[in-house]
Every structure is written in C-alpha cells, then in structure tokens.
Amino acid sequence: MLKHQNKYFPFLMWGFPLLFFTYQFILRLWPSLMMHSIMENLLIDASGFGFLAAVYYYGYSSMQIPVAILLDRFGARYTIFGCAILCGCASLLFTYTDNFYLACLSRFFVGVGSAVGFLGTSKVISEWFSKDHYARMIGLSFTFGLMGALYGGKPINLLIENHGGAVVAVVLACVSIGLGIVTYACLKSPGTESSSCKPESFKLAHFKTLFSSPFIWFLAIANLLMVGSLEGFADVWGVPYLMIAYGLAKGDAAELISFIFVGMLFGGPLLAFLSKRMGTYRVIVFCGVGMAFSFLLLLSGFFYSWYCLAALLFCIGILCCYQVIVFVVGSELVSPVLLSVTVAFINSINMLGGSFFHTTIGLIMDASWTGLLDAEGIRHYTIKSYEVSLLVIPLCAFIGACIVGGLGFKWHQKKPSILRGPV
C-alpha cells in the first residue's frame, strides 16, 4: 500500500511539502492585514493596492504549468527548495522597499514561489502513496493547508499589533527560507521503487490538444468568474470592508473572514457527497447561485450580529469548495495522459481570478471615491464605495453559474468526446 518498509515514512515525506503548502497561505493573506500602512508607505490609492494584490496571482497563475514541468524534470526536493527561498527573499524585498514597482515585483515573485505549494504536495503524494490513497491524501492536504489561511487572519494580526508589521514580515520571510532548507535536507525520493509509476514525459502537443477544446475553456472561465468570494473578498478586501461596514476592529474582522476558510474545511467532503447524488454540474450551479445570493445578503448590511455574520461567511466558505467539483468535471473531459496538464491549466485560469477581482474592485472604488482624505493624506473610501465595487463578486458568480449550467445542458444533450493526448 505505502511505498516504503516503514509505513510512517511516507507521511513524514508528505509533511515537508505540506508545511510549505500550508505556510504559503499566510504569505498570500498577510498584506490584507496591513492595507492601510502599505498604502501609506507606497503612496498609493485603492486601485494601486488592488494591482499590488493582483500581481501575486499573475505570478502564481503563470507558473502553474512551468512548475509542473520542473517537478517532473528535477523532482520535488529541488523545486520546493528553490521556490521557498524565492518566497522568502521576495518577502524581504517587499518589507524594505518604499518603491511601488519593486513592491509589485516582489509580490509577483512571492506568487511565483507559492505556485509549488499544491503541485509539490501532489507530486510527493503520487511518489510515496499508492493510487488508491491519492484522493484521500489530496483531501487531507487541503484540510491542513487551509489551516494556514486560518492562522493568516487574527493570529497574524495580533502579532502585527504587538510587534509591528515589519518585524512580522521579516519573521515570515525567514520561516519560508527555513522551510526550503529543511525540505532540501530531509525530503527524499522513493527512487527506483516508483519508477514504473512515473507519469508520461511532458509534450508540447498536449497543449495543442487541450487548448482546442471550447468546453475546457468555458469551464475554466466560469471557474474564474465564481472565485471572487475567495480570492477577491477573503484574501484582501474582506477585512477592510467588515471594518467599515460593521464597525469591527481589525482583529475581529480577520477572525470573521477566517470562517470562510473554516467552511471550506467542511465544504469539500460535503459537495463531493452531493455531487454523487445531484450531479457535478448541478452542484456547481447551486454553489454559484448560492454564493451570489449570500454575498448580496452580506452587502445589504442586514446582519448586525457577530454570530449571524460568522454563519453567513461559513456558508460562503462551503460554497467556495465548488472548485473541487470543477476539477472533477475537467477530469471527465480528458484522457489520463492529459489529466495533470488539464488540472494545471484550470488552476492557472482560476488563480487569474484573483488578479481580475482585485484590479476591478480597486478601479471601481477609485471611480466612486468622494474626494475624502484621512489624517495621513490617504484616500478614505465610504461604505458606498465598498458596496458598489464588491457587487462585481455576486454578479460574476451568477454569470459563471449560468455558463456551467449551459455546459451541463450540453453535456447531457450530446456528450463531448474525450480529449486524448498525442500517441
């Protein structure tokens, strides 16, 4: 069952990439807790901050397929080591620069390095565990990985309040470098034991086959449109919105945002169960419509109770797990030889959703700015600016659900042929 005489050794090997996968969520989220100080330090407005947040996703998305190739060519040990060191050095650059363009470049490289988190974990699982255990280990990886998102909220904010943002940023950068060194020193490959299980070598012709499918493209675009609740709201704009709209302290707002990630811990297994009963397309459509409706409730200001807000955000988190079902749909459209590149492609387009939503929300906020400035001369945005700009999230979620509904209708009406790679 496990590819080693010591049955616990594969779990130890799995733990090294899993630590970085979990940790990269903190690197991804912590700038949202320092939004005001970053805007003040770099002398930027909301659109500038939105672009700064977006470049992380440009780096992450653009490196999905290249990192998959690097993992295949050089293995998880060297690839994770290099990416972790890159994340740490880029975070240090971000901390000590007051130049907007250098800050953008550093966040881009943090995204580039973070791209190995999930893919590296998946690679190690495929090497050290049998195919029968792959799905279960991937599910466990997401569960533990989301713990990083939970700790990236209120706990990190408490550290920032007690020790200062610069000190916390340096510690985070050093931890990333440390994880890379530990992974390089300790992570091993099963070697010849798994040689018969190595995936087929990468071929450029795989891209030609994949990109020729309109079905895959529409599925990926719908996935992008529906990701706003997670990558647009939870990652960056959620904390400042809750502070303005509900008069919460930053720590309390960050704690509430964490309920989205708590919901995602339960959403994966729940939606997987429902997809077997209702069908994959129906579940995705339900999640898209549900997210749009839930987000409209959030923006309405109807919920003033902390517990009601926590419950609503928990439900949004459950619905955000539609992404797991999207990968299931994608796997149904391709042969096994195209599965890895299909997952990388869909995930790449998915992560571009963060760039799209951060940039769009920032531009709309600046367009609706009333001209007010705070004591430091930084633009002050009213609750109306937040509400108008964040409306893009439920609107896009509903459009994405409609696209998936059309794909589901097409699938049941005339099942598309399975895409196969070159012989």
Query: Which residues, at least 6 apart from 336, have a Cβ–Cβ distance to it below 8 Å?
Result: none
With CA atoms as reference, report the closest residue to 380 among 41, 35, 52, 99: 35
Contact status, residue 150 vs residue 262, Cβ threshold 8 Å = yes
What per-residue confidence (pLDDT) applies to 254? 81
With CA atoms as reference, report the closest residue to 400 among 199, 276, 222, 231: 222
Tokens of 55: 């470049």
Residue 223 CA to residue 215 CA, distance in Å, equals 12
Regions of the chain with pLDDT less than 70? 1-5, 131-132, 134-136, 139, 150-154, 191-206, 303-304, 331, 336-337, 339-340, 373-378, 411-423
Place of tokens 């990269």: 24
What per-residue confidence (pLDDT) applies to 69? 81
Mind listing the pLDDT tens digit for each residue in 256-273?
988 998 898 888 778 877
What DSSP string runs through 333-351? TB-GGGHHHHHHHHHHHHH
Mind listing the pLDDT tens digit for each residue in 160-185?
888 888 888 899 999 999 999 999 99
415: Cα separation from own chain's centroid: 31
Q: pTM of the predicted model, to two decimals?
A: 0.73
Q: How many CA atoms within 13 Å lie on the side-chain side of 370?
A: 11
Contact status, residue 107 vs residue 55, Cβ threshold 8 Å = yes
Residue 280 CA to residue 85 CA, distance in Å, equals 39
All structural domains of the chain with their residue ranges = 14-202, 205-416
Whole-angstrom CA distances from 193 to 3, 146, 199, 322 are 7, 31, 14, 36
**Range 205-416 classified under CATH 1.20.1250.20:** yes
DSSP 3-state assignment of 69? Answer: helix
Place of tokens 């994340």: 87
What per-residue confidence (pLDDT) applies to 50? 81
- CATH fold match for the domains 14-202 and 205-416: yes
Residue 20 CA to residue 79 CA, distance in Å, equals 12
Residue 356 CA to residue 225 CA, distance in Å, equals 9
What per-residue confidence (pLDDT) applies to 1? 43
**Range 14-202 classified under CATH 1.10.760.10:** no
